[in-house]
Amino acid sequence: ILPFVSVNQILLLLLVLTVCAILYNKVHQVPSTLKNEVDLESPEEMEEEIPVVICAAAGRMGAAVAAISSIHSNTEASVLFYIVGLKTTIPHIRKWIENSKLKEIKFKVVEFNPMVLKGKIRQDASRPELLQPLNFVRFYLPLLIQKHEKVIYLDDDVIVQGDIQELYDTKLAPGHAAAFSDDCDLPSTHEMIRSVGMQNTYMGFLDYRKQAIRDLGISPSTCSFNPGVIVANMTEWKRQRITKQLEKWMQRNVEENLYSSTLGGGVATSPMLIVFHGKYSSINPMWHIRHLGWSPDARYSEQFLQEAKLLHWNGRYKPWDYPSVHTDLWENWFIPDPSGKFKLTRPDS
């Protein structure tokens, strides 16, 4: 009798445990519909890291270092830096990071193969620095960054004074593959634009004498945007084949000279203006205060710059060179090159 009773008791106990387990799962399980809603509404919350893409070009590596330093120092968020370089420059930037206080950052070094640009860039003697291969890295973000839904791209000549989490949280409208800063968004920059003759409309970037440009149906007075700071949605970028569209306009420019020699000189900007016209979201204006490198004389007020979240020295006059303006704000974040190869150019050097 005893063995028979003990077996029954064991079976009963197993049955009770099974029922308890089923009830527990039902109480604690998130309904599948709710899971889908969470995924759809805020994919960025599902990611642990904020991916930030910055290029490290020969002769400008100090710029990338200062940008990375400023981002890392001003956030508690987990940032993963994708540092993009050419085969010849990668060892230098890696040693710089690993032998400085930046050694604690999370980063991946990515090699960009300039062969993808073969036949797609028209030579332009007026601003040869704009033809450097790394200027076109932003066109190929999905090929370089595989696992992220949302990505931040930054030019190297920026410093970040705010928390990069804020920029990452920029909302992109449905169907938009990217967010940019509109060149007409801040009244405080309008005086600067007028004083040094900067371009802030499509007329300054595209040659409206060409039929292919007129056929776009875009008014030449349309406000341009600056692609030096991008918040991008990789799913939409791939779905809309943005990279292929950009390459198409690069090849057309090689054949028809649609924008290379126009006033803006934006060899990488112009195809983006065409492809993203009317199809981009806006970045908070204080997250892209630009034109600091346009003139060695024109200056913003110190109070305005202190309130800015991101400063961009777009233009010829870079803060690691001389002459340039507001260099003190940039040098706050610069970390000297342990190898001594990269040196700041200063009037007393």
Give me the sheet containing 225-233, strands edge to edge.
106-111, 79-85, 50-55, 150-154, 225-233, 178-182, 281-282
Is pLDDT of 152 > 80?
Answer: yes
Q: How far apart are CA 326 and CA 345, in angstroms?
A: 14
Structure tokens at 293: 């490198």
CATH code of the domain made up of 50-185+198-332: 3.90.550.10
Q: What is the mean pLDDT of the chain?
A: 86
Tens of pLDDT, residue by residue over 285-301, are 999 998 899 889 878 89
Q: How far apart are CA 17 and CA 10, in angstroms?
A: 11
pLDDT for 348 equals 84
Q: State the burial class of residue 169 (Cβ atoms within 10 Å of its Cβ: 0-12, 13-18, 19+).
A: middle
What is the 3-state composition of the chain as percent helix, strand, coil, each rounded to the nearest 5? 45, 15, 45
pLDDT (mean) for 191-211: 77
Instruction: Give the list of residues 6+ apart from residue 325 with CB closer than 8 angstroms, or none.
Output: 292, 295, 296, 297, 298, 299, 317, 319
Q: What is the DSSP string of 179-225?
A: EEEETTS-HHHHHHHHHHT---BGGGTS-TTSHHHHTTT--TTSB-E
Give the start-to-end residue ranges of the domains of the chain: 50-185+198-332
Do strands 158-160 and 178-182 pair parallel, antiparallel, or not at all (unpaired)? unpaired
Residue type, 180: F
pTM of the full predicted structure? 0.84
Task: Give percent of the chain above pLDDT 90.
Answer: 68
pLDDT-based confidence at residue 266 (cuts at 50, 70, 90) = low
Tens of pLDDT, residue by residue over 63-81, are 999 999 999 999 999 999 9
